[in-house]
Amino acid sequence: AQTVTQSQPEMSVQEAETVTLSCTYDTSENNYYLFWYKQPPSRQMILVIRQEAYKQQNATENRFSVNFQKAAKSFSLKISDSQLGDTAMYFCAFSMGTQFYFGTGTSLTVIP
Q: How far is the CB of 82 from another protein (least distance, A)?
A: 22
3-state secondary structure 48-104: EEEEECCCCCCCEECCEEEEEECCCCEEEEEECCCCHHHCEEEEEEEECCCCEEECC
Q: Which residues ranging from 31 to 60 are in contact with another protein (CB under 8 A)?
A: 33, 35, 37, 43-47, 50, 52
93 in contact with another protein (CB under 8 A): yes
4 in contact with another protein (CB under 8 A): yes
Q: How many Å apart are CA 69 and CA 61, to the nearest integer?
A: 18
Q: Tell me the window of 13-21, 53-61, 74-82, 93-101 that interacts with another protein (CB under 8 A).
A: 93-101
Q: How far is the CB of 15 from another protein (least distance, A)?
A: 26
Q: How far is the CB of 20 from another protein (least distance, A)?
A: 19
- What are the Cα distances from residue 110, in Å, to 44, 92, 107? 19, 19, 10
* Binding interface with another protein (CB under 8 A): 4, 33, 35, 37, 43-47, 50, 52, 91, 93, 97-105
